[in-house]
Structure formats: structure tokens, C-alpha cells
Amino acid sequence: MKKLLMFFALVLPLTSQAAGYKSSLVVQTGEFRESDLIVRTVTDLESNKICLAFYIRTTGTSPQMTCYDGKAGFRSDINQVGHFREGDLVVRKLKDSVNEMSCLVAYVSTPGTSPSIDCYNRRPGAKDTIERSGHVREGDLDVHRIVDADSTKTCLVAFVNTEGTSPSLTCYDSHTGGKGNITQTGYMREGDLVVRKIVDQPNGMACLISYVSTAGTRANINCFEEQSGAYPEARSQTQPKAQPRYRPTE
């Protein structure tokens, strides 16, 4: 009897360990580092999704992640193809040449910050270059316009000049042939809240940017097309009769 009890005492832990076996279908399949930016490729093998997790090597940072379908099994190839720096603000363009995706990431290398990212389909054969084609500074807010001409995308980066702030980034389709710059056309302040209306004249887009001027803040960007005729330069090619003083570019 004692031998039987000893047998069960040895077998039960083994069976409990076997019942607790778990498998994971979420694995890291790649890593990219550029200065203080780290990007890890996380693949969900069950859903065939590739996710890019961005974070900064600073204390108190928060990661940001975006996912897309894997077009070539579980493969990816992440490289930097463009960047610019303005003061504390860094903007980098990365591409996944295997899955034909491009990502813009904006960040500052300060404690407690987090990056802002926006990814979109990359046109095959694109040159992958980016260009800053506009900038406006109003109060403590800086807004930069970044153009990815080969992928016909325009991105706005909003950055509040306070300690420990995080930039915000949004991208939308570019329009060809439009003229003009980015300007502020509206402003509101109520208590600590500031809302500025920034228009992108060449693309006929209006963006409301809200923020508070305190340490650790992050601006919020909400963009939309505006049909009020506020951008005659961008609309001149489609309405030459209504705007005779503007002529289409040849």
C-alpha cells in the first residue's frame, strides 16, 4: 500500500505539468534599430498578421504598434529610407520591402515620451524619399508637412514645445497640381484647452489640432476635406472659370 501511494505521489505532478502545456503563435520575427528608435516585428502565425512595435530607448516610454497582412508568408524586411530632424523632433520613414508597406514615425528622445506612427501601402518601384514641404508655428505648436510624393501621401506632424511632450502624426492622400502652403485659419482657447485649425491648401484638407500647454501633453489631430471654397489655389484646376486669376499649371 505504501508503495502504491508513493507511485501516485510521483505520477500526479507529472500529469499536472503535461496538462499545463501551452503553445504560443505570437513570436518576434525581426528587429530594427536606428539611433534610439527600436522596432520589433511581431508575427501572429495563426492570423498571418505582421505587427510593428515602435518604442524609444528612454525611461518611461510607451510603445506604439500597427499591424498589416503578411503577403509573403511570415517574412518582412524593415529598413530606413528617409528622415529629418528639427530640434528635438525626429521623423523617420521605414519600409517593409517584402510586404510593400511604408511607415512614418515621429518621436522625441525625452523620458516618458511615445512615438506616433502611420503606415500605408507602398507603391512598387517608389523612390521612398520624403520631403518637408511646409511648416507653421503658432504659439507653442509646431506643425510640419511631410510629402511622400511617390506614394502620393501627405503627413502632418504636430508637436507642442513643452517638457516631455509626444508628437502626433496623421497621413492622407495627396492631390496633384495644388498650390499653397499650410496656414492657421482658426483658433480657440478655453481654460487649458487650445484648438487650432490648420489648412493644407494644396490638398484641400482642414485639420483641427487640440492640446493643452502642459508637460507630457500630446496633440490630437483630426483632418477632413473641406468643400467651402477656402482653398482657391487647390481648387483652381477644377474650377478655372470661377477663379479666372488662377491658371492651371502646364
- Which tens digits make up the pLDDT trace of 75-133? 889 999 999 898 889 999 999 988 899 999 999 988 888 999 999 988 777 777 899 98
Q: Specify if 180 maps to a domain.
A: no
Q: What is the pLDDT of residue 180?
A: 82
Residue 148 phi/psi, 5-degree rounding, is: -110, 90
- Answer yes or no: is 136 within a domain: no
Residue 54 lies in a domain: yes
Burial label for 208, CB within 10 Å (0-12, 13-18, 19+), is middle
- Spatial separation of the C-alpha atoms in residues 146 and 83, rounded to whole Å: 10
In this predicted structure, what is the pLDDT of residue 6?
53
Check residue 161 and give its pLDDT. Answer: 86
Asked if residue 60 is part of any domain, the answer here is yes
pLDDT at 235 over 60: no
- In a domain, residue 216? The reply is no
Residue 65 resides in a domain: yes
pLDDT at position 195, please?
97
Residue 234 within any structural domain of the chain: no
Q: Residue for cell digits 486669376?
A: 245
- Mean pLDDT highest for which of 11-15, 41-45, 46-50, 197-201? 197-201
Q: How many domains does the chain have?
A: 1
Q: Are 144 and 156 in contact (CB under 8 A)?
A: yes
Most confident of 1-15, 132-146, 213-227, 228-242: 132-146
Domain of residue 118: give its range: 26-122
Asked if residue 230 has pLDDT above 80, the reply is: no
Residue 68 resides in a domain: yes
Q: Could you give the percent of the chain with pLDDT greater than 90? A: 48
Q: Give the predicted TM-score (pTM) of the model.
A: 0.76
